[in-house]
Amino acid sequence: MAPPTGPRAGTARAPPRGPRATGGGGGGIQKRRANARTDRDGDVSMDAPAGGSGRGGSASGGRGRGSKDARGGRGAVNSRTSSRVVQNLQNYVSGGPVGKTQSNMATLKILGMSNSKATGNRDGGLRSLLTFLERKASKDKAVTIGKSILDGDYVWITVRKDDAPEILRLNGFTYAGAPLTITETTERMPRPEDKISKAAEETKQKLTAVLAARYNPELKLLDLSSLGTDPILSSMGTFDSKDRAEKAFKVLVVIASQQYKTAAEKREGIQAISLASNGLNDVMQVFTLASSLPDIKRLDLSSNNLDSLSKIAKWQHRFQYLEELHLTGNPITTQPDFVAELIKWFPSLQNINGQIVRSQQEVAEALKGMHPTPLPQFPSNLRDGEANVASIFVQVFFPMFDTDRGRLAAEFYDDDSWFSIQAIANSGRNLPWKTYLKYSRNVHKLGEKNPATVQRLFTGGNLIADMWKALPSTRHPSMENPGAWLIDCHTFPNLADPTGHGFATGLLITVNGQFEESDTTENLYGKRTFTRTFILGPSKPSNPPPVHPYRVISDQLTLHDWTPAETPAVQAPVANQVPQVPVANAVPPAGPVILDDATKNQLIQEVMTRTGMTAEYSKLCLSGTANWNFELALKSFEEQRANLPPTAFINAV
């Protein structure tokens, strides 16, 4: 067993905790009956009806103790107990673990119970106080208290915000002979794990004294050898059993680790550990050392009972900086291969039992092997078949997202398209994420049971377009800069065919990159890295026919790091307008772009759709100074639009 950490360590029976404790003479329900008698003698049940034995009373309106016949002797108080349990379960289901503060809950502090007659109860009077508060507050409606804890002179409780005024009006009421002071607070409610008993504090002080006496600051050595002979540990009964001794060691190591604020301070402060002469036959008995002090350089395990490598194997690859290991006096040293194996397990190990077993150069090579070279980043890979659907799509999509989001949604999204944002706000600065967080569907942050995970999945082109309007303006880099993009595309089988006949094959496109951003509402400008994942599938049959033969079925935008900029990066996009950039400033890529006929035809169709020009003029626009660059072709068209003859447009033909 571990050293005692609280009053329960020295007793065979712990008092029940919380309103749900059951069984025996100290059960929760029976305790409530005992508190009720104390209440009638004092001030708890000041509104109880006179007459009778006091066990009955009116059961109407949910107040009073109720009749024995109606409730099997438990009455309305037990009904409230069940109500509180049900309420706690509802809070858990609706908002996550009970330990998390609920947004619709208020926290109240109550002072005065420590001066009441109820302090002699086994729970300090907490349970009878909760009954008193619920009964007194439940005049027009039932009031149920959520969590509660006794912390020093204060009782902390949580109630629904709309019930808080009913509890607060009891401020000044007398409970069991003592006046109560009730206030609402925004402080964090104490948790049971925050409390440490007097006995536990004394135990910690004793163990800290043991560590202080065994620490050598000059050698930076923590000497935990021969623990069985330590007078303080022996007086605490640490070695009364094997289980207790092992737990005591864990506590010692944890306390030693907690003496340092940072990992660097701990690494510098404790560089050597001695576990000699402890009768160890397996390092599992002291395994905690590897997790609490993983960076030690010297370890002494001599004069123990380690008889095989399997008894040390659990520490394999654990101590990466261990340079010196002593195992003399252990049966394992008679095995011929133990040195070779230990060298494999600990990459920095140079000295075993005082003998140099490896050079520093060999150690460097071993450490290098522990950290292999990262996988190289491969260029974009678009496996989208002969039609080059993915290539055309990304070239059209991102310029339109920057300049005309409404039209983009109308062309590529239908009533069944999905869009969601996931904001990975790791920087700790919430302001740059403010606009996105209210739409973010980060399930890890929200929790799977949060209704927002459904509400923030935007469905339908119109709703998606409206949502896009609320996002900051963006400008993505040109597709002519391949180093700014990483795009992957694979076929996506077994999509539902929109015609209703069997299945269709779509495309899964993943785009990684960054964009410039201007958030005028928050006056924030900067750059974001992003990942955007699309699933494309065949368009639905419609009249008139869809603009494109494919549609966006799913679109997930994940936002990562944000880097501030001093000046605005981009201006807000204007609907149905393309960037007005002079053609002279647009630099075409060096050398001709080699595209197959299928890709060129796709680009011609896109230009025809966007400009309304004929196929012939669309081809001229692409093959001229634009050099088959879609963005430059649109800019060129906008510049030359006024000079084009009527025959250049389809409607004029």
155 SS3 class:
strand
Site of tokens 């003698």: 41
Q: How far apart are CA 230 and CA 276, in angstroms?
A: 14
Contact indicator for 335, 308 with CB cutoff of 8 Å: yes
Output 448-453 pairs: Cβ under 8 A, ≥24 positions apart.
Answer: 449/93, 449/94, 449/95, 449/96, 450/95, 450/96
Q: How far is CA 42 from the centre of its chain?
A: 49
- Confidence check: pLDDT of 419 > 90: yes
Q: How far apart are CA 358 and CA 322, in angstroms?
A: 13
Give the pLDDT confidence score for residue 556 in this predicted structure.
Answer: 95
Q: How far apart are CA 255 and CA 205, in angstroms?
A: 10
90-104, 336-350, 362-376, 453-467: which is most confident: 453-467
353 SS3 class:
coil
Q: How far apart are CA 435 and CA 360, in angstroms?
A: 54
- Confidence check: pLDDT of 164 > 80: yes
pLDDT band at residue 380, thresholds of 50, 70 and 90? low
Q: How far apart are CA 225 and CA 299, in angstroms?
A: 11
pLDDT per residue as tens digits for the range 566-593: 555 444 444 334 333 333 333 333 344 4
- Structure tokens that stand for 365 in this block: 């090579």
Of 8 and 75, the structure prediction assigns the larger pLDDT to 75
- Confidence check: pLDDT of 604 > 60: yes
Give the pLDDT confidence score for residue 345 in this predicted structure.
Answer: 83
- Confidence check: pLDDT of 539 > 60: yes
Contact indicator for 283, 306 with CB cutoff of 8 Å: yes
Site of tokens 């410039």: 516
Q: How far apart are CA 56 and CA 63, in angstroms?
A: 11
Over residues 646-653, mean pLDDT: 72
CA distances to 126, 169, 245, 393 from 164, rounded to whole Å, are 18, 9, 49, 56
pLDDT per residue as tens digits for the range 56-69: 433 334 434 344 44
DSSP H/E element including 153: none
Q: How far apart are CA 69 and CA 73, in angstroms?
A: 6
- Confidence check: pLDDT of 502 > 90: no
Site of tokens 């008679």: 334
5-9, 71-75, 198-202, 447-451: which is most confident: 447-451
Mean pLDDT of the chain: 75
pLDDT band at residue 653, thresholds of 50, 70 and 90? very low
The DSSP output letter for 562 is: E
Question: How many helices (DSSP H) and strands (DSSP E) are in the chain?
Answer: 21, 21
- Region class of 279: left (phi > 0), else alpha (psi between -120 and 50), else beta: left
Over residues 144-163, mean pLDDT: 89
Give the pLDDT confidence score for residue 566 in this predicted structure.
Answer: 55
73-87, 236-250, 463-477: which is most confident: 463-477
194-198, 365-369, 527-531: which is most confident: 527-531
Of 241-255, 301-315, 375-389, the one with minimum mean pLDDT is 375-389
Torsion of CA 385, 390, 396, 398, to 10 degrees: -170
Give the pLDDT confidence score for residue 158 in this predicted structure.
Answer: 93
Give the pLDDT confidence score for residue 629 in this predicted structure.
Answer: 77
Q: How far apart are CA 489 and CA 532, in angstroms?
A: 12
Of 653 and 382, the structure prediction assigns the larger pLDDT to 382
Nearest to 129 by CA among 73, 190, 174, 71: 174
Nearest to 36 by CA among 46, 21, 23: 46
Of 264 and 417, the structure prediction assigns the larger pLDDT to 417
Over residues 13-25, mean pLDDT: 41
pLDDT band at residue 621, thresholds of 50, 70 and 90? confident
Q: How far apart are CA 296 and CA 321, in angstroms?
A: 6
Is 125 buried (19+), middle (13-18) or exposed (0-12) by CB count in 10 A? buried
Of 565 and 525, the structure prediction assigns the larger pLDDT to 525
pLDDT band at residue 639, thresholds of 50, 70 and 90? confident
User: Given the DSSP bridges, would you call strands 458-459 and 418-423 parallel, antiparallel or unpaired?
Assistant: antiparallel
440 SS3 class:
strand
Strand order in the sheet with 154-160: 148-151, 154-160, 105-111, 181-185
pLDDT band at residue 607, thresholds of 50, 70 and 90? confident
The DSSP output letter for 286 is: G
User: Given the DSSP bridges, would you call strands 154-160 and 148-151 parallel, antiparallel or unpaired?
Assistant: antiparallel
422 SS3 class:
strand
Contact indicator for 42, 117 with CB cutoff of 8 Å: yes
pLDDT per residue as tens digits for the range 109-122: 999 988 888 888 87
Give the pLDDT confidence score for residue 285 in this predicted structure.
Answer: 80
Contact indicator for 293, 270 with CB cutoff of 8 Å: yes
Q: How far apart are CA 52 and CA 526, in angstroms?
A: 77
Contact indicator for 54, 40 with CB cutoff of 8 Å: yes
Give the pLDDT confidence score for residue 107 in this predicted structure.
Answer: 93
pTM (two decimals): 0.39
Give the pLDDT confidence score for residue 83 in this predicted structure.
Answer: 53
- Bridge partners of 511, per DSSP, are 487, 532
- Confidence check: pLDDT of 555 > 50: yes
Cis peptide before 217 (omega within 30 of 0): no
CA distances to 44, 136, 175, 541 from 50, rounded to whole Å, are 14, 17, 19, 80
CA atoms within 13 A on the CB side of 625: 13
Give the pLDDT confidence score for residue 386 in this predicted structure.
Answer: 61
- Structure tokens that stand for 578 in this block: 């393309």
Over residues 173-182, mean pLDDT: 90
